[in-house]
Amino acid sequence: MQTQTQTVDVLVIGGGTAGPMAAVKAKEANPALKVLLLEKANVKRSGAISMGMDGLNNAIVPGHATPEQYVKEITIANDGIVNQKTVMAYAENSFAMIEELDRWGVKFEKDETGDYAMRKVHHMGTYVLPMPEGHDIKKVLYRRLKRARIEITNRLVATRLLLAEDGSIAGAMAFDCRSGDFHIIRAKAVILATGAAGRLGLPSSGYLFGTYENPTNAGDGYSMAYHAGAELSGIECFQINPLIKDYNGPACAYVTGPLGGYTANNKGERFIECDYWSGQMMMEFYRELEGGNGPVFLKLDHLAEETIQNIETILHSNERPSRGRFHEGRGTDYREQMVEMHISEIGLCSGHSASGVWVNEFAETTVKGLYAAGDLACVPHNYMLGAFVYGKIAGESAAAYCAQAPLAEVDEIQIATERERVWAPLSRPDGLPPLQVEYKLRRMVNDYLQPPKVTRKMEIGLQRFEEIRHDLDRLSASNPHELMRALEVHAIRDCAEMAARASLYRTESRWGLYHNRVDYPARNDEDWFVHVQLKKLNGEMHCFKRPIEPYIIELDEQEKTAYQKLRISKDALSNAREQDTLTSV
């Protein structure tokens, strides 16, 4: 096994959604730059949008919504804890990005007059744009990468960022999951786009790779940013999704809702007003699931044959095309049966909730020369279009930064230390198998961190994660593929510890189920109307508060609690936890 070194201007890590966009936009901003897109899998089919996408969850299309309305909606959906400037930077660029993707050949649904066929799914505004023919999106991106002459390396797993003496970025280190070779990539700027931490909780099926997120996204980027000294934010605002039980893919109320489908309890009755995924919606889902009215189902059996055929065509061919096979295996026919649902394992993902590496409206992290975009960058509810927009912002910011940034010297000690850590499992003939350690770690994540969050349980969890830290030194791998799994366990463990520490730090409840703390059941705006940040200080994990920047869009009094009134039934009051209204800012 060898060590290889190369030097570029901009290094983009992760070639899923945000990454390819970042690479293309950096190169377009300055064609003289050497831009490298480094991917763990293969850019052709990697990431969350591997097979396509069912729609844009947050499209801001003139005539249907304004950026101001969107910023309000997300501020309220995320219980006030947002840096509005970052959400606004997304919102203002949202429509231009849709038009650009449209020109590139991505297919969005349009009405007879050629306008985008927008659908209302959110509580307040209209933001969903279906893409029933969205399966070509990776192909379209790949064509743009080729046209822009972006250099691509596949099957390299980034493991740590390289830092200059002053703490700014100097590049990254990676290994080849087929040959085991160690790679040093020197760069002036690095863009992290490695997606969610999707292998944190264990799916209830027990299958390690049966996750909601693409399991290639094991949280590597969260761990790399943390070890580079970057601030992370909102880690305690977990991602938990309402999914098809066991299959663990989205039931797609966004697709079926506008066609008449809805989430129902075991009596076939609606119990939530709005299917848009939020912590409050998940709380109601959880209550229904655990109460006598569970399980929860997706109800389509009342729809017309034609509508059902249409739903089948979309849902069984696009985003998660194996769904039809799953239903077939269980004998589920939308015409006859409701589809049983469940809640997912926990994950970290700002694309869906709010956990991520802290960025400002220029996609800058708190480490100089390091940018972040997509699911791992903290811009709440950013979804796919947010990944594209922030990919663009990150690419352009990094290109501008390169103009005045020197190439930092590399520190041989960092390299030697990391190479030793990466290669170590290969030289341990009979250590612990990575998948066993991963199974145990993720089972403990379920046992101790899955909400409702209990203080004593999370403390025990932290103790267990500490013990597993020592097990990392006993991991063994017999080939480079297994080595990849071993290194992923390191990252998953870091994410588990972050999830526990940030959750323990915020001593209140917020975001419905996402941060439901049994020992602190009320929302406490006086002390906790702040971001919770997490950062490595002197080798230790530290949490601290960061004030919320003054809002740029004020909220109307009656809107502030909109997402806290999602339950339909009359007994809503007796059921719902007392929640204060948002304090005015």
Partner 1 sequence: MTSVPVRVNEDLCIAEKGCTVCVDVCPLDVLAIDIVKGKAFMKFDECWYCMPCEKDCPTGAVTVDIPYLLR
Stretch that binds ligand FAD, among 39-47, 267-275, 358-366, 576-584 (CB under 6 A): 39-47
Please give the residues from 259 up to 288 whose contact with partner 1 meets the rule CB under 8 A: none
Is residue 299 helix, strand or coil? strand
Binding partner of 503, given ligand FAD, partner 1, none, CB within 5-8 angstroms per partner class: none
Give the helix ranges, DSSP H, for 150-247: 220-227
By CB under 6 A, residue 242 contacts ligand FAD? no
Q: Does 499 bind ligand FAD (CB under 6 A)?
A: no
- d(CA 200, CA 352) in angstroms, rounded, equals 15
Which structure tokens are listed for 30?
Answer: 């300055």
Closer residue to partner 1 (CB): 52 or 67: 52
Instruction: Tell whether residue 215 is a contact of partner 1 (CB under 8 A).
Output: yes
Give the nearest residue (CB) to ligand FAD: 16
For residue 149, count other CB atoms closer than 10 A to its CB.
Answer: 9
The interface region with partner 1, picked from 36-44, 81-89, 361-369, 494-502 by CB under 8 A, is 36-44
Pick the closer one to partner 1 by CB: 229 or 321: 321
| CA–CA separation, 407 and 8 (whole Å) | 9
Which string of x and - marks every residue 225-264 that binds partner 1 (by CB under 8 A)? ---------------------xxx----------------
Contact status, residue 387 vs residue 56, Cβ threshold 8 Å: no
E strands, 266-321, in order: 296-299
CB of 41 to partner 1, least distance (A): 4
Tell the burial category of 6 from Cβ atoms under 10 Å away from its Cβ (0-12, 13-18, 19+).
middle
Binding at 210: pick from partner 1, ligand FAD, none (beta carbon under 5-8 Å per type): partner 1
Q: In whole angstroms, what is the distance from residue 494 CA to residue 226 CA? A: 9
Report the nearest approach of ligand FAD to the CB of residue 21 (Å). 8
Binding-site member from 229, 260, 321, 433 for partner 1 (CB under 8 A): 321
**Torsion angle of alpha carbons 393, 394, 395, 399, nearest 10°?**
100
The residue with tokens 């006859």 is 336
Of 172, 223, 196, residue with least CA distance to 13: 172
Using CB under 8 A, which of the segments 60-68, 141-149, 205-213, 273-281 binds partner 1?
205-213
| Count of residues near ligand FAD by CB under 6 A | 42
Query: Which CB sits closer to partner 1, 211 or 365?
Result: 211
- Alpha-carbon distance of 194 to 42, in angstroms, equals 13
What are residue 134's phi and psi, to 5 degrees? -85, 15
Pattern 150-189, ligand FAD, x by CB under 6 A? -------xx-------------------------------
Residue 183 binds partner 1, judged by CB under 8 A: no
CA-to-CA dists, residue 229 to 103, 261, 481, angstroms: 39, 46, 28
Q: Does 472 bind ligand FAD (CB under 6 A)?
A: no
The single residue among 110, 143, 147, 178 that binds partner 1, judged by CB under 8 A, is 178
Distance CA 265, CA 85 (A): 39
Distance CA 208, CA 443 (A): 10
x/- site string to ligand FAD, residues 357 to 376, per CB under 6 A? -----------------xx-
State the number of CA atoms in the 13 A half-sphere of 407 facing the CB: 13
549 neighbors 83 (Cβ within 8 angstroms): yes
Distance CA 388, CA 382 (A): 9
318 near ligand FAD (CB under 6 A): no
CA dist 226 and 349 (Å) reads 15
Binding site for partner 1 (CB under 8 A): 41-42, 44-47, 50-51, 154-155, 177-178, 205-211, 214-216, 246-248, 320-322, 325-326, 329-330, 481, 484-485
Binding site for ligand FAD (CB under 6 A): 13-19, 38-41, 46-49, 53-57, 157-158, 193-195, 212-214, 216-217, 220, 249-250, 319-320, 351, 374-375, 383-385, 387
